[in-house]
Copies of this chain bind each other. A is one copy, B any other.
């Protein structure tokens, strides 16, 4: 290696130590990836680890003992996974009528299910009112619709106000609060909302202040929490309301790309402890909820596909796989990334291989967008080897254009 290369700063992926190896292979639930491929009976497949989900929840429970934990189904709506996660959660959050049906089939009580999302249909609102879940309203118009539907069926609808605050979450992968937003109701537009909430068909149960997702900076999350509690205090002084829950969102990120670090939870927990003391009066009568999706399931999932061809075109080596963009849009770099970066990847049946090779991992689609890894040093692979894309438990299967080019569907396994 030349001095030049030695001096170059190499930014690598965070270690994916949540997965063990067995006989030189990536393993889940005590089985090698080759054995699991045999169980699946096909590649490609998504593989989710119960044990890693358990670890994630245990870590959160240890760090945040005073907080209620909700799972946001949108991160991974596989019905059996939702049931598995729900057994260890205090509540579920849904984003559509179909997700609501999945939530109702779990062990979670209706009162601990909430429904957020701009532009809910009248049918969805009727489903929510009939089932008795909490509706996070996104506009005054939506509250008016709920009032009308609930009145017509002689029900009282449980309402949480989703508030677009007057502060932002810094360093977030996606900002969803502060400034001008399609989400929630601007904090300065709440007067008519509280007025309408006097109606008998409506019952205010909570507030929902969610500022952004996929954040790896504890200081930014701490600042958002400080701002949320201060805002709620201010609003209670102005509008004199009681609530039984405050959803402070989630936003806890996981490392995807070279240079990303694992998020430190303890400073966030220490700050929440302080806030629980400073705002004792609020907290005594009100459940504080962290709503988490990606953080619960993201690192527990793998996308597994198989090398079907290996070709050298001029200066580059291509591993062609039977999986790609159509199954895993985010890993291809086409889902909210401005510049394409590689997800962490391994040759899953050659975890101990010493011989490495610089390769481009591509899928079977007739489009140059179908890239799973670009210029990545991996164990030297051959046709038939299994490829693992890590950090694929959230926004993978359900967030991909699986009909694109009409290839077979991947399976989903929870082991």
Task: Give chain A's interface residues, CB within 8 Å of chain B.
Answer: 74, 77, 95-99, 102, 116-121, 138-139, 141-142, 164, 174-176, 179-183, 186, 308-311, 313-316, 318, 320-322, 329, 334-336, 338, 360, 362-370, 383, 395, 397-408
Contacts and interface: CB of A to CB of B under 8 A. Distances in A.
A175 B313 CA distance: 15
Contacts of A141: 309-311, 383
Q: Return the 5 tightest CB-CB contacts between A and B, nearest first.
A: A98-B406, A119-B364, A119-B320, A180-B316, A119-B308
B336 A335 contact: no
B322 A119 contact: yes
Given A141-B310, A182-B362, A318-B182, A398 B407 contact: no
B407 A138 contact: no
A320 B117 CA distance: 10
Contacts of A176: 366-368
A47 to B, nearest CB: 18
Main secondary structure of the interface of A (DSSP, over half): loop
Given A98-B408, A336-B369, A398-B405, 20 more contacts: A77-B403, A95-B406, A118-B309, A118-B362, A119-B321, A119-B322, A141-B309, A174-B367, A174-B369, A176-B368, A180-B313, A180-B314, A180-B316, A182-B320, A182-B360, A182-B368, A186-B313, A334-B336, A398-B401, A399-B403
Contact of A365 (B117, B313, B363): B117
Contacts of A95: 365-366, 405-406
A362 B183 CA distance: 10
Contacts of A334: 334-336
Most buried by B among A182, A335, A399, A402: A182
Contacts of A315: 180
Contact of A400 (B164, B338, B383, B401): B401
A371 to B, nearest CB: 8
Contacts of A180: 313-316
A329 B369 CA distance: 14
16 contacts: A96-B405, A116-B366, A117-B364, A118-B309, A118-B362, A119-B364, A121-B308, A121-B322, A138-B311, A164-B313, A174-B368, A182-B313, A182-B318, A182-B362, A334-B334, A398-B403
Most buried by B among A98, A186, A338, A367: A367
A414 to B, nearest CB: 17
Contacts of A308: 119-121
Nearest to A293: B366
Contacts of A365: 95, 117
Contact of A404 (B121, B398, B406): B398
Nearest to A371: B182
Nearest to A360: B182
A136 to B, nearest CB: 10
A282 B395 CA distance: 51
B406 A314 contact: no
Contacts of A318: 118, 182
Contacts of A335: 334, 369
Contact of A406 (B99, B320, B321, B403): B99
A334 B325 CA distance: 12
